[in-house]
Structure 1
Amino acid sequence: MAEKIDFKKATGSYRAKHGEFRILQVPAMRYLMIDGQGDPNLERTYTEALETIYPVAYKLKFASKQNGQDYVVPPLEGLWWADDMNSFTTERDKSKWSWTLMLMVPGWLNADDVQTAVEAAKSGRDLPSIERMRFELLDEGQCVQTLHLGAYDEEGPVIRKMHENFIVGHGLRLTGKHHEIYLGDPRKVAPDRLRTILRQPVESL
């Protein structure tokens, strides 16, 4: 039987250190994606996105295992943006945020596999956001990332330091959307023990 792959351990871009900003090249990867807008703690669309994306991801995983290639479902990820970036770093006004919820799909699976998984998931439960879900390549290229330890609402100072100190100080500028990778489950882990990779695509000035 083939070894079960854990992408958090096998993929360098899923690793980061607390208190350290690192410049890296992130490989292009394909994701299940669902877009939304507003405070994730209040908007029903965010919950519906979760209720849709995970069943499809697990059907993909089970189908892959049956075909001889098992893996751990990758961590939940999100792209976040707003017209005024101060809403991330200072105000933390989540009502102004837009987001894309994402789960990575291993490279050996394709669009046909995703569609098969969608049909299998739909046969067993309601998928409230399935019409908004897409399968898409994300190619971020050069990025800066670090590991944040603690509650999501405490990310602001770290993001501000990344943007205003490290990125500018290294002759770089922001190019893409703020990217978060959730290594902890807020339903099971105390807020002060959550682990989140904070990533920002950049380019040279």
Structure 2
Amino acid sequence: MKFGSHKLNLNKTMTISTSNGFCSKTLIYHSVRPPLPLPLESMNISVTDFIFSVTTTTSASLIDATTCCSIQYSDVPLPHLVQNLTVSLRQPPLSLTKGDTAYIISPNSSYLPILYLSLFAIGVTVSPANPVSSIPEVSRQIHLCKPTVTFATLDSIHKLLEVGFGNPIVLIDSPEFESMMRVIKSNGNLAKFEVLQSDTAAILYSSGTIDN
């Protein structure tokens, strides 16, 4: 899963504003923060492992702006939730493995980052979709990404059923999914996948229309 960094020297790049990062020549906004130290491309490390290797916070890690519910980093450590879900996803009945694709059609929630980090840890390619996508758009997206599994919510599952999606469907807003995150599981004999930075991390779609 490829990392990339763009080292930008705002003092030497005179066309870029030091206040907002806007480049008058390219009309592109750049971050005015110093670049983060990223691992070398030759290192075999997943997005998930890298994030947790540099995370030191002890406060709330995820806050749902709609429900105001938060997931603490210390009380119920976020890495543990990700680890539990990762193990669950790799075991039957899903048995996800590196190279699989997961189609996700859901509104924003505090559970999505946990799901994404778990899938990235396995080496599964994530294909997120807008929950307000029309049924023809959903059908087209599924045709393009050819998912092994789909994650949806109660409000969006009917679209998958109408397009005849036959692979496993996991409801994110269900007690079963909550249990997959919260119940402590053993790694057993599950070998860790070698996730490369050159592996495909996501299949993204335009925010506009999709060609038929």
Same fold (TM over 0.5): no
**Higher gyration radius (CA):** 2
TM-score range, shorter chain: under 0.3
Higher relative contact order structure (alpha carbons within 8 Å, sequence separation ≥ 6)? 1
More helix per residue:
1
TM-score normalised to the size of structure 1?
A: 0.25
More strand per residue:
1
